[in-house]
Amino acid sequence: MNQERELADSTALVFEPRRALASARRWALARRAELLCAALLAVASAQMLAVVARKSITIDEIVMIPAAYYHLAAGDFQLVNEHPPLSKIVAAVPLLFLQPDEARPEQINDPPDSPKAKWAYQERFWENNPGLFEPLSFWPRVPMIALTIALGLVVFIFARELFGARAAVLAVALYSLEPTVLAHGRVVQTDIPAAFGYLLLFFALYRYNAAPAPRRALGLGVAAGVAILSKYSMLLAAPVLAAYLLVLLWRTPRSGRKRSTLFKHAALVTLAALLVVNAAYFFQHRPLVEADAQWIQKAFPSNAGAVMTAASALSYLLPTDFVIGVFFQIWHNGEGHSAGLLGMYSNTGWWYYFP
């Protein structure tokens, strides 16, 4: 009896290469789309990592990297508040391990919270860390590469749900080999994060539309919050979602849904988005300071009082630095921004490009 049991045990432990290879082949064939996606994104990440140390720091990164460290280490978002903090917070995580020297108070001769003081901080940040220039310009880019790969995963998942596995692989191939993605995906800026937030928002909207539920409404709200935190341009998420709600309300009698349920879901989306935005600013609602009032008076001389009232009211729901950043973008759009296209130059853009 014991001999038979030992024989059975020894037989069970026999390794059969052919069977193992056949099993591995079946597994790989069943997941070939995922494996191809992983391979393409691995090639893209390897390419970005290989060149990131050899590429000089960009003009945006001169400002963004010091601001990123200041945001995360000091918990203060007044430095470079014309951009939401998502990309900066992501990029600043490795800097917590490097512990660079911050600008000392005696190095800043301008009034606190003034634009000159903010620029002085960024200049002194680089001056105080000459021996750390290479790691300070390399490591913040690594999380941005990870975010670029995360965007590629969203491209794959969304394309597969819409058009199938083959189309998803094609979409990832076009994405991972696109020179613009490879160039912008390895630097600290807001373009790739904005693309990530944009696609994540519409993926969440697609999922909610397919099967409305409280859980998916919360997911849509989180995606909207992430999109808004990526770049102020993504504030378009608010009118897009409002228009979608109006369409649903118009179709309610024919779809069999209750309008009360739609309003509950809309409330969940709004609350989730507000929670995400406030969390990114560490739930800070600082009062408006003198520097804010001076800037508003200078930027909006004809209606500074109304802008101050609006900013003060909005700061109860949204972080003050987020609100100031929104008004900065409104002012900046009115002032214009240098742009070039096909040999042409404009300070206000064109209706079809950079308007």
| Same domain, residue pair 130 and 242 | no
Distance CA 250, CA 234 (A): 26
Could you tell me if residue 280 is inside a domain? yes
CA–CA separation, 112 vs 229, rounded Å? 26
Lowest-confidence region among 15-29, 232-246, 323-337: 15-29
Asked if the model's pLDDT at residue 257 lies above 90, the reply is: no
Residue 279 counted as domain residue: yes
**Are 134 and 234 contained in the same domain?**
no
* Cα gap 320→128, rounded to integer Å: 30
**Whether residues 198 and 297 fall in one domain:** no
Is pLDDT at 2 greater than 70 in this prediction?
no
Task: Give yes or no: residues 197 and 174 share one domain.
Answer: no
Q: Which two tokens stand for residue 64?
A: 């963004």
The percentage of the chain sitting over the pLDDT mark of 70, rounded to a whole number, equals 91
Closest to 191 in 3D by CA, of 141, 236, 241, 233: 233
Residues 37 and 115 in one domain: yes
3-state secondary structure 229-255: HHCHHHHHHHHHHHHHHHHHHHHHHHH
Q: What pLDDT does residue 309 have?
A: 95
The answer to whether the beta carbons of residues 201 and 219 sit under 8 Å apart is no
Percent of the chain past pLDDT 90, that is, above it, reads 62
CB 228, CB 197: distance < 8 Å: yes
Per the domain annotation, does 16 fall within a domain? no
In-domain check, residue 15: no
Query: Is there a single domain that holds both residue 298 and residue 279?
Result: no
Rounded to whole angstroms, the Cα distance separating 209 from 265 reads 12
Instruction: Give the pLDDT score at 338.
Output: 82
**Across residues 255-282, what is the average pLDDT?**
92
Q: Residue 265 pLDDT more than 90? A: yes
Task: Indicate whether 316 and 263 sit together in one domain.
Answer: no
Q: For residue 232, is it within any domain?
A: yes
183 and 267, same domain (yes or no): no
The number of angstroms, rounded, from the C-alpha of 111 to the middle of its chain's C-alpha atoms is: 32
273 and 215, same structural domain? yes
Measure the CA–CA gap between 80 and 78, rounded to whole angstroms.
6
In this prediction, residue 1 has a pLDDT band, given cuts at 50, 70 and 90, of: low
Calculate the average pLDDT of the chain. Answer: 88
- In the predicted model, is pLDDT for residue 268 greater than 80? yes
Residues 203 and 108 placed together within one structural domain of the fold? no
Is there a single domain that holds both residue 78 and residue 176? yes
End-to-end CA gap in the chain: 86
What does the pLDDT look like over 63-115, one tens digit per residue?
Answer: 899 999 988 888 888 878 888 999 999 999 999 999 998 877 677 777 656 66
> What SS3 state is found at 235?
helix
138, 173, 189 - which closes a domain: 189
Q: Which is more confidently placed, 330 or 222? A: 222
Question: Is 130 among the domain residues?
Answer: yes
Number of structural domains in the chain = 3
Q: How far is residue 151 CA from its own chain's centroid?
A: 9
Tokens 């995606």 correspond to what residue? 223
**Domain containing 322: what range?**
290-346
| Domain final residue, candidates 189, 207, 226 | 189
Note the pLDDT tens digit of each residue in 183-221.
Answer: 999 999 999 999 999 999 999 999 999 999 999 999 999
In a domain, 24, yes or no: no
Rounded Cα–Cα distance for residues 301 and 307 (Å): 10
Assigned domain for 111 exists: yes
Among the candidates 189, 209, 243, a domain finishes at 189
Instruction: State residue 104's pLDDT score.
Output: 73
